[in-house]
Amino acid sequence: MGTDWILRVTPTRASTIQNNVRVTSTVRDLNQQNDTATERTTVTAVAGSADLKVSQVDSPDPVSAGTQVTYSVTVTNAGPSTAVGVVLTDIVPAGLSRSSLRCSECNLCSINGTTLRCPLGDLASGASKVWNLHGVPTVASTLRNTVSVTSSVRDSNQTNNTSSETTTVTQATSAR
Ligand SMILES: [Ca+2]
Ligand SMILES: [Ca+2]
């Protein structure tokens, strides 16, 4: 008698995925040749194409050290297909105090060094989404915030998928 066991996974990008299975039992297996199986699956990109665009506005600029600056990032899908699994990547300005960082739906994001990676879900054709990053610069300097967007759908125009913005940080005005 056989037993079915079903594993469902959702691949996130075009690639080859491989599933390895092995069965064991506490009873001695007379034929161990048939205890393992490997299956490869080719994952193709999601059909269609979507032209994602990203832009951002920094406010205020210039900003005083010790005062919060906000980067308001807008991601737009110019279509024609729905952009599935949009991911926003933000290379956070080094001059921002790490403990001061706040962002939209930040609980969904992961940070690796200064790179913040945030899933934004699906974006329908013609739709846009605003995502905010807040932080406090510590010293007078020039900040550079770089954002980029990708999705599981082919992008017909890669040139508008990245945006960089610089912000001038002036010395803190002395408090009296
Ligand atoms: Ca694009
Ligand atoms: Ca600016």
Q: pTM here?
A: 0.75
Query: Is the domain of 118 the same as that of 165?
Result: yes
Query: Is the domain of 86 the same as that of 114?
Result: yes
> How far does the centroid of ligand 1 lie from the alpha carbon of residue 94, in Å?
26
> How far does the centroid of ligand 1 lie from the alpha carbon of residue 54, in Å?
8
Alpha-carbon distance 146 to 97, whole Å? 17
Query: Is the domain of 38 the same as that of 72?
Result: no
The answer as to whether 74 is a domain residue is yes
**Contact predicate 61/168, CB 8 Å:** yes
Could you tell me which residue, 27 or 145, shows the higher pLDDT?
Answer: 145
Domain hosting 22: range is 15-45
> How far does the centroid of ligand 2 lie from the alpha carbon of residue 167, in Å?
4
Lowest-confidence pick of 4-18, 90-104, 136-150: 4-18
Query: Is the domain of 34 the same as that of 60?
Result: no
* Residue 122: strand pairing partners: none
Q: What is the DSSP string of the chain?
A: ------------SSEEEEEEEE---SSPPS-GGGSEEEEEEEEPPEEEEEEEEEEEEEESSSEETTS-EEEEEEEEEEEES-EEEEEEEEE--TTB-GGG-EETTGGG-EEETTEEEEEEEEE-TT-EEEEEEEE-B-SSEEEEEEEEEE-SEE-S-GGGSEEEEEEEEEPPPPP-
> Quick one: pLDDT at residue 76?
98
Residue 165 has pLDDT above 60, yes or no: yes
Averaged over 22-50, what is the pLDDT?
85
The answer as to whether 8 is a domain residue is no
> How far does the centroid of ligand 2 lie from the alpha carbon of residue 62, in Å?
7
> How far does the centroid of ligand 1 lie from the alpha carbon of residue 57, in Å?
18
Count how many domains the chain has. 2
Classify residue 129 as exposed, middle or buried by CB count within 10 Å of its CB (0-12, 13-18, 19+).
middle
The answer as to whether 10 is a domain residue is no
Query: Is the domain of 34 the same as that of 108?
Result: no
> How far does the centroid of ligand 1 lie from the alpha carbon of residue 156, in Å?
6
Lowest-confidence pick of 43-47, 58-62, 105-109, 144-148: 43-47
What residues does the ion ligand 2 have nearby, CB within 5 Å?
Answer: 58, 61, 167
Query: Is the domain of 92 the same as that of 33?
Result: no
Q: Tens of pLDDT along 100-153?
A: 999 999 999 999 999 999 999 999 999 999 999 999 999 999 999 999 999 999
The answer as to whether 2 is a domain residue is no
> Quick one: pLDDT at residue 175?
56
Instruction: Identify the nearest ligand to the CA of 143 by its number.
Output: 2
| HSE (side-chain half, CA atoms, 13 Å) at 61 | 15
Query: Is the domain of 123 the same as that of 56?
Result: yes
Averaged over 22-30, what is the pLDDT?
87
Residue 154 has pLDDT above 80, yes or no: yes
Instruction: Identify the nearest ligand to the CA of 168 by its number.
Output: 2
> How far does the centroid of ligand 1 lie from the alpha carbon of residue 77, in Å?
8
Alpha-carbon distance 122 to 75, whole Å? 11
Spatial neighbors of 61 by CB under 8 A, at least 6 apart, are 69, 167, 168
Query: Is the domain of 54 the same as that of 78?
Result: yes
Query: Is the domain of 121 the same as that of 158?
Result: yes
> How far does the centroid of ligand 2 lie from the alpha carbon of residue 139, in Å?
17
